[in-house]
Structure 1
Amino acid sequence: MTEFLNYKVDLTLKDGTKSTGLISQVDSQQIRLSNAIQSIQPKQTIPYLDIKSSEISDLKVIQLPPDFKQQQKKKSKPRNGELIDDAIVFASKPGTPRVHTPKLKTSKPHAVSAGSEQADWDNSSDVQDIKSSNDFDFQANLAMFDKKSVFADFQKRDHTNISDRLVGHNKVENVNKLKKEKYDNDEMVLDQNRTDNWDNIGTATTSKTGTPVIHQNGYKDTQHQHLKLINANNLSNVALASPVQLLEIERLATDSFGITQAMMAEVCAINLSQLIMESILGGASRLSNKKNHNLPPLVLLLIGSGRGGSRAFATGRHLTNHGVRVLAFMINTIDVDADLEQQWKLFELAGGKVMISNIVELLDIVNNQLDTPVEIIIDALQGYDDHLEDIFYQDEDQATLKKLMKWCNEPQQQNKIMSLDIPSGIDGGSGTLSDDSLKLNCRWCISMGLPLSGIILAYKNGNMSLIDGDIIHYLVDVGIPNKVYSSKGNLRKFDKFWYSSEASIKLEVSEK
């Protein structure tokens, strides 16, 4: 312990007092300080003060001995012949940066905690002592570790298949095996959060209230005086019939040829349902796919007039037979004729659902209770031989009708409306409106048997949109015999084979 001689230290004792002085003698039992000063008597200097080692709590060096300071000043270059460690030589080169390396400053005293020692790297004997020490022989100990046998033991205990390891999953050939080219129709689909209440829907006959509020849309912009309907396939002109002429043709078919209204409704329903399924609802690729996990499409019928309502009910029945869900809404059941009542009964027997009067319940069912949106709204409220004011003449029915039409004319529903004969609200003969708020803006217009002259007049009056593609026209065969047209002189302009292999013909509006 002689290396601590002549160090000026500050000793903190366990009783809280301090003593300062030069170490003149030190051993394992005690320390002797010369020229000592105690904190209890700071003005008195004691020539020699002996302090037991067991009484010392802390020691701080406050001044180095004079010979140690001189050694620090002479450390510019190593002496010739000295053996210096290579790492020390490299670190002492001028171009080598010293990052985070502590430097010993001699201008000011440093406080060193007890037990910490400042290494004197200039002392070559210390370097040699470190090199020659046998504390830890890294190379010898590394040679004792047999890595080969250890890893062999790992492999012996590991029974995992190589293909099941993470590196095996990441191989290109394995990734391609796991990736499917085509997914089944019940894969990669979202979970259904909504519930479907189709089976609980029944005929309602109670309250008559409504709520929807929407914007009215019209097309009264320009006048077009030279318009006509043509066959989209061969661009030939299509003759138009007035409501009186069409009524006469259907009467002759019944009286002279035995084709009753029920028969015409059935033929119309077969052809129209086929057109709807193939052209609008996706055809066989959707409806015939037995693995399709989605619910069937939903069609809404708006029933009003006897003739159009009967054919709409029959069409809904055929759609139901082909797996389509069909819901019918009737504003009232006043003046229901025998044909309409019969078709209504057959429609419900086939699985169709009917709602009466309660438009609030209808909208709740369509918007909240069913997990499929309405895809087609078949407009059979008016037909060519009636007016809405004559069918729904009661104030309560008029209010329900307006709310129903406002909901139908919303952008979400407007592109789903299919009107039979002519859009409801437009006169079948003149193409005019009696009430701007009572008109449906349809996407499809279906002419049953013959197209009405009121269609072209409605275009000319601005009551139907002439924008290309806004309204799609079809002419559907209802089973009227061709001999009817030659039975009377005023019907001879219709005397031709309307339908060859087709059950329906697409029509287009053309300007002359």
Structure 2
Amino acid sequence: MATDWLGSVVSINCGLTLGVYQGEVSSVDHASQTISLRQPYHNGTRCPVPEVTFSATDIKELKFLDIQNTTNKPSTDRRAAAEPSFMPSVHHGHSHRVAQPHVTSSSSHSSNAPITILRRAPTGSSNSRGATQAIPKKPSVRNGGAGGSMRPKDDECFRDGTDEDLDADFDFEGNLALFDKAAVFSQIDGTNRHGNRAQHHSMPGDQKPLSYRHDENILEGKPVIYRQITVPQHGGKEYCTDSGLVVPSVPYELHKRLLAAAERWGLSFERRLETVGVCSSQMALTLLGGPNRLTPKNVHQRPTVVLLCGPHIQGAQGISCGRHLANHEVEVILFLPNFLKMHESVTSEVTLYSRSSGKQVASIKDLPASPVDLVINCLDCHENGLLREQSWYKSAADWANQNRAPVLSIDPAVSEQHQTVEAKWTLSLGLPLPLAEAESRVYLCDIGIPKSVFQEVGIHYHSPFGCKFVIPLHSA
């Protein structure tokens, strides 16, 4: 009887797809043609379930590794037991061999039916899958279709032995506890667990420098001196740059002496005028939107700038700025009344401006009534404060304040009174003048005066501009 082999250790080969199972025979069911193994091993790995049940159609080969009660049974009975009644179509592949103390018997079975393994859960288990669960498995087919070829080597390397491990939960906390985070980070930042700096010695007496973080400077420099500009006559107000450098203001008399000394050393008024025009136009282009506004694809929305200029040096600086803006495809409108007497620099700048695409008007009525993109104010003069009382000046100032466009004032005059034109930005030249308190943001322009020229008028100077020609100043 096949039941006589209960407790024997057998090896069941289910083919390349399901692999080989070993275990102790726990039951043989004649009705359902199944055999069950307790404490099974799959391809040499302990199965996570206590018992596995096989159908007769799934078994390719069955070997007995250890037969119980061999002393009371003849060898002929062993052959009959090796052919249990639940396997009616078994064909013997080769003769049986008897070994001491083990007996091995093999048989083979061929079937094209779907392969099924019946897994029986342990008694009293709380598993919601039930007492018995069927897991269907199909042979793997390669190359996309039923006509594909099997790859046994790939299955052995990448597929066998994986299904049984899916039921086991991975211990994340236990695995994470194996990682000593403090020790690793102490090696990275060069500190031990007590927070002390790690010092390395290559040779006795030779000590390497301390290790540094990514945001620490490895070069030991001198302390930064933020007051690098000192003046003999203080204007009464101080500014500071974005990097913290102090820039003092100077009275207009000292500023005038500085410009005169620069002209004696070859920095003529014309060269300074062109520098102011370039730097102020660059600042205006940035205020207009820069590359986001001035692109070849945006020619139908070119910005409009109105220049308000007087018949003096400050007016000439504004006209130079307007010429550079017109060269950069900006719609420029120059307001300059028909004066009987103008500074010669204004006349020459108007001649150059007339060769550009900019427009020129002499009456406030010819200025746009709708808001423009930017207004550049160059109405004030350092030498003549009476211009504010003239009608053309008042009309231009009223238009600027009513246009609701932002205003940029270039080199405004020093005045204790509130500025006539409310400017959003103010551009000073070389060194700032003590301007009246206002909401205007002050900028400083580098006009190219050498350091030795500053020293000639008693100013200890170190350039605060860095890599720029126009920098913002903040009230200190």
TM-score normalised to structure 1 length = 0.45
TM-score normalised to structure 2 length = 0.48
Larger gyration radius, structure 1 or structure 2:
1
Q: Which has the higher strand share?
A: 2
